[in-house]
Amino acid sequence: MALIGEIRKRTWLVFVLIFGALAAFILTDLLKGGGGGATDQTPISNLYGEGITRTEYDKLLANEMAKYERLYQGQVPPEIQQQLEDNFLNQYLSEQLYQKQYDAIGLTVSKEEYNDILQGEHVDGSIYEQNRLFVDAAGKFSKDSMIKQMPAYLANNPEFEFFLNFMGEQTEKTRLSSKYNTLISKGLYTTSFEAKKAYLAQNSKIDFDYVFKSYSSIPDSTVSVDESEIKAYYEKHKNEKKYESKDAMSFQYVEFSIDPSEEDKALAKDYIEGKIELFKKAENDSAFVFSNSDSKTLDFAPKKSSDFPLELDSLLQTADTGDVFGPYLDGEYYKLSKVLDITTQKEATVRHILIGKDKYGDDVNKLKVKADSIIRVIRAKNNFEEMVSEFSTDYASVPKGGVYEWFDEYQMVPEFTEVSFKKPIGTITTATTTYGVHIIEVQKRREGKKLSVATIDAEIKPSKETIDLSVDKAIDFRNALNKENVADTAFANTARRNGYFVRPVNDILLGQKTIPGFDNNVMQIQRWGFGGAKIGDVSDEMVFEKKVIIAQLQNVKVEGVPTFESVKTEMGYEVVKEKKAAIYKEKMVGSSLADIATKVEASVQNAAGISLSQTSIPGAGNEPLVVGTAIATAPNTVSAPIVGENGIYVISTKNKVDATIPEGYTFENEKKSATSSMRSRVNNGVYQALTEIADLKDNRDRVNLKGN
């Protein structure tokens, strides 16, 4: 009967396992070439024009996995295995990419250096710290401990030498990379000429007036654009790098949430209740938690009452060692906790009003005056909660009447704590902190309990019946659309008529592992969107952990030169900008900025103290062309209209102040700063440059999902 109960409790798991097995079967077939996907001999990567086939990759991965199986004695944790499967190809390709550079310059790690890293004078302690070997109480590597214990490890554990070699191999790769990047970094420096130029650009200033007409302020109705004009723009600009496309898809969807029913909640609660007596009698609490808990959380650190649901507070304050309390609801779990140890701490409850600097200003004296006036009203009318709503800027506590309940002496800033724990109960007074002035009423204090507990839990998960109800709603919505390919408006209107909200998801890259708003199992969306669906197509129901969705494909981008449809909207906006600019270039001419401002219903603005190294105009945005024109324009002359990033400008330079160089100034600070900045970007910059030169690509997703 107990076994039957466990199976019934996890009916949803049977459904998920069947679904997962089917998905795995289909996906394996896809990865191995079934269904028009990859074949074993299709290259799934590229490095300097050479590729690895699926067969070759599987062998490499199997060899690497064998190392981990030996390291973990055959029990590789699922998360480690998943990380290896996801990241191994990119890691392997990156190593090959760098190895070509190492070979070219003869860069190696000598045997002596290798031994020094592992157990010599310059041991890399992180090797051992991450595995809790030869460490002190603080978890830091101890060379003395290594010297004393290493012989015993080697003598008594035949696998320890393998472990050392495994970790040494990883560290050797890191050391080679560090050496290579250091060589490049040391070759980067800033010359005195470059430093001087940067100094002059930073310290020379310019003032100019300008008239600005933002593109967004110009009504779209002032221009008309037809598709032929956008196509002409596309043909002219499609090869520009900023439009270079990656495989990506955009879709919109309607979701049908899978919310556990009351029966599902009762099932989880019943399961926990059935463990009460067993938990009380359990001699090994860790083993009991691991065997009987869905989350298997082994966290026995002391917890305050505020770490538990509020309704448990009075129960916790009377709890004794060995007590088991629950079931109690905590988020998506029913929980049962066993008290292992009890300590106490001073706790206080107060309510407060924050007269915050963010709203009332930085003048503390004025804040104190305001606080005193509020206190007088509270004492006269006994209306603390009303004043919280009206004046407090601690918005998180306002819904609770300004109350902070049962906090300890270490949670708040010192000034707040001083009042809360030292002033008599019932006192209303103030405390000044970096946030402003607090009006605090001390309400209660106590010796509160901190409990170390072992906790088992049962996640409230939807049953198959609950999931089926959401699936049925999704199918009904899908059937209401009547046909495969529908207009966006039809999809949106059908959703609206049925009371559903349409949610957009834009530019999901091929192979992207996560999508905002979804759990990690997004492969089914990828298979649908990249596997042959056409723009406008509507998906079948797709089931996730907490929702079912029906999606409509809105756009698909192909790697390389973009298709017209994929950039039509973006380029259409550029055509509109060009037309707006042309209209206002004709209007924005005149002998003075005031006249031009009147013509286009704008105002004359001023940009003061703009450095020559600055490309941003306060209030207008990043405008390098405008700043450059201001530098090049003679003072007190009106420029021709300038087509900027954010709008059209006309400028008049008022004043230029060239920087003066102090006598004997050597620009050492500028050289150090610029050199440090360059060197800080070496690691990432080198990798990006090498991947571009080698055209390094992991094409697994492209081959698996698109078959090419």
Answer yes or no: are the C-beta atoms of 342 and 423 closer than 8 Å.
Answer: no
Q: What is the pLDDT of residue 132?
A: 75
Q: What is the pLDDT of residue 708?
A: 59
Q: Given a cut of 50, is residue 12 above it in pLDDT?
A: no
Q: What is the pLDDT of residue 519?
A: 73
User: What would the two tokens of residue 440 be?
Assistant: 């605090």
pLDDT digit string (tens) for 635-657? Answer: 999 999 999 999 999 999 999 99
**DSSP, res 424:** P
Q: Given a cut of 60, is residue 30 above it in pLDDT?
A: no
Q: What is the pLDDT of residue 1?
A: 27
Same domain, 551 and 607: no
Q: Using 50, 70 and 90 to split pLDDT, how confident is the model at 706?
A: low
Backbone angles phi, psi at 417, to 5 degrees: -65, -40
Same domain, 286 and 401: yes
Q: Residue 519: count other Cβ atoms within 10 Å of its Cβ.
A: 11
Same domain, 285 and 374: yes
Same domain, 552 and 575: no
Report yes or no on 311 lying in a domain: yes
Query: 75-89, 377-391, 508-522: which has the highest mean pLDDT?
Result: 377-391
Q: Residue 649: count other Cβ atoms within 10 Å of its Cβ.
A: 25
Q: Given a cut of 80, is residue 431 above it in pLDDT?
A: yes
Q: What is the mean pLDDT of the chain?
A: 87
Q: Given a cut of 60, is residue 35 above it in pLDDT?
A: no
Q: What is the DSSP string of 223-261?
A: ----HHHHHHHHHHHTTSGGG-B-SEEEEEEEEEE-PPP
Question: Which CATH number do you get for residue 396?
Answer: 3.10.50.40
For the chain, percent of residues with pLDDT exceeding 90: 61
Same domain, 305 and 448: yes
Give SS3 for 311: helix
Report yes or no on 98 lying in a domain: no
Report yes or no on 273 lying in a domain: yes
Same domain, 588 and 524: no
Q: Given a cut of 60, is residue 375 above it in pLDDT?
A: yes
Same domain, 172 and 122: yes
As a whole number of angstroms, the distance between CA 15 and CA 4 comes to 16
Q: Given a cut of 80, is residue 411 above it in pLDDT?
A: yes
Lowest mean pLDDT among 32-36, 326-330, 567-571: 32-36
Q: Given a cut of 50, is residue 25 above it in pLDDT?
A: no
327 preceded by cis ω (within 30°)? yes
pLDDT digit string (tens) for 520-566? Answer: 678 889 989 988 889 999 999 999 989 999 999 998 888 889 889 88
Q: What is the pLDDT of residue 29?
A: 43
CA-to-CA separations, 404 to 350, 351, 417, 560, in angstroms, rounded: 6, 6, 12, 57
Report yes or no on 50 lying in a domain: no
As a whole number of angstroms, the distance between CA 654 and CA 207 comes to 5
Q: Is residue 688 exposed (0-12), middle (13-18) or buried (19+ Cβ within 10 Å)? A: exposed
Q: Using 50, 70 and 90 to split pLDDT, how confident is the model at 15?
A: very low
pLDDT digit string (tens) for 307-329? Answer: 899 899 889 999 999 999 999 99
As a whole number of angstroms, the distance between CA 537 and CA 539 comes to 7
3-state secondary structure 624-647: HHHHHHHHHCCCCCECCCEECCCE
User: What would the two tokens of residue 425 be?
Assistant: 């109960």
Q: Given a cut of 80, is residue 166 above it in pLDDT?
A: yes
Same domain, 288 and 324: yes
CA-angle at 343, arms to 338 and 348, nearest 5°: 110
Backbone angles phi, psi at 572, to 5 degrees: -60, -35
Q: Which of 134, 157, 186 is the last residue of a domain?
A: 186
Same domain, 490 and 579: no
As a whole number of angstroms, the distance between CA 457 and CA 330 comes to 9
pLDDT digit string (tens) for 185-226? Answer: 999 999 999 999 999 988 999 999 999 999 988 888 888 999
* Mean pLDDT, rounded, for 21-45: 52
Same domain, 457 and 468: no
Q: What is the pLDDT of residue 28?
A: 41
pLDDT digit string (tens) for 275-293? Answer: 999 999 998 998 899 889 9
pLDDT digit string (tens) for 71-101? Answer: 777 778 877 888 888 889 989 999 999 999 9
What is the tally of structural domains in the chain? 5
Residue bearing tokens 């079912």: 548
Report yes or no on 705 lying in a domain: no
As a whole number of angstroms, the distance between CA 270 and CA 458 comes to 9
Q: What is the pLDDT of residue 221?
A: 84
Q: What is the pLDDT of residue 686?
A: 94
Q: pTM of the full predicted structure?
A: 0.59
Radius of gyration of the chain (CA): 34
Residue bearing the bigger pLDDT, 298 or 460 = 460
CA-to-CA separations, 235 to 224, 290, 518, 562, in angstroms, rounded: 20, 63, 37, 11
Same domain, 432 and 577: no
Residues 622, 625, 631, 637, CA torsion sign: negative
As a whole number of angstroms, the distance between CA 417 and CA 208 comes to 52
pLDDT digit string (tens) for 217-273? Answer: 888 888 899 999 999 999 999 999 888 888 899 999 999 999 999 999 999 999 999
Report yes or no on 88 lying in a domain: no
For the chain, percent of residues with pLDDT exceeding 70: 94
Lowest mean pLDDT among 149-158, 420-429, 444-453, 698-707: 698-707
Q: Given a cut of 80, is residue 38 above it in pLDDT?
A: no
Q: Given a cut of 50, is residue 444 above it in pLDDT?
A: yes
- Domain range holding 610? 205-223+566-657
Answer yes or no: are the C-beta atoms of 22 and 523 closer than 8 Å.
Answer: no
Report yes or no on 291 lying in a domain: yes
User: What would the two tokens of residue 251 be?
Assistant: 């879709």
As a whole number of angstroms, the distance between CA 651 and CA 208 comes to 7
* Mean pLDDT, rounded, for 435-447: 95
Report yes or no on 57 lying in a domain: no
Same domain, 333 and 435: yes
Question: Which CATH number do you get for residue 535?
Answer: 3.10.50
